[in-house]
Amino acid sequence: MATDTKDLARPAGAAALMELLPSRPRLLGLGEPTHREEALLDLRNDLVRQLVEEEGYRTLAIESDCLRGLVVDEYVTHGTGTLDEALEQGFSHEWGACAGNRDLVRWMRARNAAVPEPERIRFAGIDGPLEITGAESPRRALTALHGYLAARLDAGLLPCTAQTLDRLLGPDDRWTDPAAMADPSRSVGRTADAGRLRLLADELAALLEEQTPHLLAATSRDALDRARLHGRTALGLLRYHHWMADRSPARMARLVGVRDHMMAGNLLALARRGPTLVHAHNSHLQRWRSAVRMWQGPVEWWSAGALVAAELGEGYAFVATALGTIRHQGVDAPPPDSVEGLLYALPEDRCVVDPARLAAALRDAPPQPRVSPWFGYAPLDPNHLEECDGLLFVKDLPRR
């Protein structure tokens, strides 16, 4: 492919990224095409530090359990607990074992300890309490929401007692049965108890909003925001369990759609609080429709990025990351007629590329999609270059 790209790239850094954007977005998504690669976490950490210090971002969110993330936030903002406890208890998907996340949390705590409270940076998880094998019981979120309201409102306003919730929830292991992911008949998501819980969760979340002036006066904005998080999570989990019990061909599409809808709700809440960075897989942050092939066939859904972009418009920006090689996973040098192949010919190991200029340069010689031999890496889709606001390229990931 005879396309000159040498003038399209700049060394990777926050300043180069921000120059691609018309203004500082309220929500800036930094995507990655694969997980658990320390080199990508190191790059993320470099950009986070620069974007916090130079651009005023004050919340960092990652693709991890939103309720567990409260533990990390308490540690980095107030020093509650220890670093080890924050890593062990505050992350899902084994993210706490990553050296890059340890470095990030340690840096956030050290920075916050040296500045006044209004200047401190916050941490958040955006994912629901979900794993690939299933979902958590709604108990933790639902009882926290009920407890917050019961401590501050007249009991007659609440739709039920804590004892009623406990009876309807039953043992947690009936919600977390891993066999339910492959066998809908094992799910309790469409039982009469689950249906009653969905109605009660909706009533509790509505009561929370109806009583906002009183609750703000009685507690704090942070406490109210946490209760709202519990409400969103309880409703999202009950909806997720409902679709786990479904037997139709739409089941998996609805499950991944519900998951990203939960992420989007959390992101919009964080963006209302102030300038927010989010780091997650490209497929959760991109503006276009996401797709993946699962055991029952292809599945498509609208990502959290697409949902928040529809709400925020230019207040949302998406920076995708593309890779050259992951040799320890069998991903060797990209074909020269792919976008990654073009960028692989550049001298920089890590660079920022303007995707609009790159797409224009490729118009007369459209690149071919790259096909990964490893399921854990998602190559860049060349048909959607112009829907990215920025592009990070990392030439080679070091062997583990």
Count of C-beta atoms within a 10 Å radius of residue 78: 13
Contact by Cβ (8 Å): 329, 304:
no
Tell me whether strands 130-131 and 276-281 are parallel, antiparallel or unpaired: unpaired
The answer as to whether 257 is a domain residue is no
Query: Same domain for 387 and 279?
Result: yes
How confident is the model at residue 5, as a pLDDT?
Answer: 61
How confident is the model at residue 307, as a pLDDT?
Answer: 98
Element (H, E) at 289: none
Query: Same domain for 20 and 100?
Result: yes
Count of C-beta atoms within a 10 Å radius of residue 107: 16
Q: What's the number of domains the chain is made of?
A: 2
**The domain boundary residue, chosen from 250, 281, 302:** 250
Q: SS3 for 354?
A: coil
The answer as to whether 1 is a domain residue is no
Query: Same domain for 39 and 185?
Result: no
Query: Same domain for 17 and 107?
Result: yes
Render each residue's pLDDT in the chain as its tens digit; 400 residues: 445 566 789 999 999 999 999 999 999 999 999 999 999 999 999 999 999 999 999 999 999 999 999 999 999 999 999 999 999 999 999 999 999 999 999 999 999 999 999 999 999 999 999 987 889 999 999 999 999 999 999 999 999 999 999 999 999 999 999 999 999 999 999 999 999 999 999 999 999 999 999 999 999 999 999 999 999 999 999 999 999 999 999 999 999 999 999 999 999 999 999 999 999 999 999 999 999 887 777 899 999 999 999 999 999 999 999 999 999 999 999 999 999 999 999 999 999 999 999 999 899 889 999 999 999 999 999 999 999 999 999 999 998 7
Q: SS3 for 10?
A: strand
Query: Same domain for 127 and 146?
Result: no
Query: Same domain for 105 and 161?
Result: no
Phi, psi for 60 (deg, rounded to 5):
-115, 125
Domain boundaries, position 70? 9-131+264-396
List own/partner pairs for 89-98 with CB under 8 A and 24 or more apart.
Answer: 90/125, 91/64, 91/65, 91/125, 92/64, 92/65, 92/68, 92/125, 92/127, 92/129, 92/131, 93/35, 93/63, 93/64, 93/65, 93/127, 93/131, 94/36, 95/62, 95/64, 98/36, 98/38, 98/41
Helices and strands, counts by H and E, the chain: 15, 12
List own/partner pairs for 367-373 with CB under 8 A and 24 or more apart.
Answer: 367/1, 367/337, 367/338, 367/339, 367/341, 367/342, 368/335, 368/337, 368/338, 369/338, 370/334, 370/335, 370/338, 370/339, 370/340, 370/341, 372/331, 373/330, 373/331
- Report the C-alpha gap between 108 and 106 in whole angstroms: 6
The answer as to whether 162 is a domain residue is yes
How confident is the model at residue 3, as a pLDDT?
Answer: 53
Query: Same domain for 392 and 268?
Result: yes
**The domain boundary residue, chosen from 228, 250, 272:** 250
The answer as to whether 258 is a domain residue is no
- Report the C-alpha gap between 195 and 245 in whole angstroms: 12
The answer as to whether 170 is a domain residue is yes
- Report the C-alpha gap between 390 and 20 in whole angstroms: 7
- CB-side neighbour CA atoms (13 Å) of 195: 4
Query: Same domain for 199 and 108?
Result: no
Query: Same domain for 268 and 365?
Result: yes
Sequence-ordered strand ranges (E) for the chain: 9-11, 27-32, 59-65, 122-127, 130-131, 134-135, 276-281, 290-294, 297-301, 316-325, 350-353, 390-396
Query: Same domain for 70 and 140?
Result: no
Dihedral sign (CA 128, 129, 130, 135) = negative
How confident is the model at residue 1, as a pLDDT?
Answer: 41
CATH number of the domain that 96 lies in? 3.40.50.11550
Phi, psi for 120 (deg, rounded to 5):
-75, 150
**The domain boundary residue, chosen from 250, 273, 306:** 250
| Residue position matching structure tokens 């990553």 | 98
